[in-house]
Structure 1
Amino acid sequence: MSSSSSPTASRTAAGRPPAAELAALQRRLADFAVARDWGQYHTPKNLAAALSVEASELLEIFQWLTPEQSQRIMTEPDQAARVEDEVADVLAYLLQFCQVLGVDASAALSAKIDRNEGRFPV
């Protein structure tokens, strides 16, 4: 992913670069699962299925909204909280999926953006 910003310009709220923050979140999720002996359930198939279910739950929030209503959803505190919870669930399962398979999510996204820039020039 090419960017003209400096490395320090893109830091998370925790002050870490985004890739380091993702790695820290992956570690927390892994520790959480290990403490509960959930590793046996965290197979690629199960995590992919869980990711799909959570993405569907995010979609469900928007299912019958007009485009205008969907644009304003984060102005409604109850709805905003639902969206944030489902985004967190999607991200959690995606990060766990990547960890189990050894996929570097940041590198994969960067490579995909590079390919898309080549496929879809301005």
Structure 2
Amino acid sequence: MSVAGGRPDAVTDTNDLAGLQRRLADFAVARDWGRFHTPKNLATALGVETAELAEIFQWLTPEESARVMDDEATAFRVRDEVADVLAYLLQFCAALGVDPLDALSDKIDRNEKRFPVT
């Protein structure tokens, strides 16, 4: 069994989208959080986490925002908030039976038709 990220509890096949969704579901089940993970609550939590990500950039100039990953502490905050946003989005999709990759692919298809290259 190969190990990912140096963590003995994380095998490489759990770092794909479905594997991460399983880990999130298992984490919530083990803590009896399922009753809180309704679509409404997950959508609200997703909005809160997105706002926390936006807060990092709130008063930065465009140039400063482009260099945000140069500062180790700020880069950690960005990665942490990205993880929170993605976790809640994946849990939201699981709660409603939405395949996020299919949804994105369908949206790109629609946008390619809506915004053709000129």
When normalised by structure 2's length, the TM-score is: 0.87
When normalised by structure 1's length, the TM-score is: 0.84
Letter in structure 2 aligned against 1:102: G
Residue ranges of structure 1 left out of the alignment (5+ in a row):
1-12
Q: How does 1:1-122 map to 2 (within 5 A)?
A: 21-122=16-117
Q: Match for residue 8 of structure 2?
A: none
Following TM superposition, the consecutive aligned residue runs of length 4 or more in structure 1 with deviations greater than 3 angstroms are 13-16
Count of matched residue positions in the alignment of Structure 1 and Structure 2: 107
- Structure 1 vs Structure 2 CA RMSD: 1.6
Residue ranges of structure 2 left out of the alignment (5+ in a row):
6-10
- For CA contacts below 8 A with separation 6 or more, give which structure has more relative contact order: 1
Post-superposition offset of 1:95: 0.1
**Percent identity of the aligned residues?**
71
Post-superposition offset of 1:15: 6.9
In 1, the alpha carbon distance for the partners of 2:43 and 2:12 equals 30
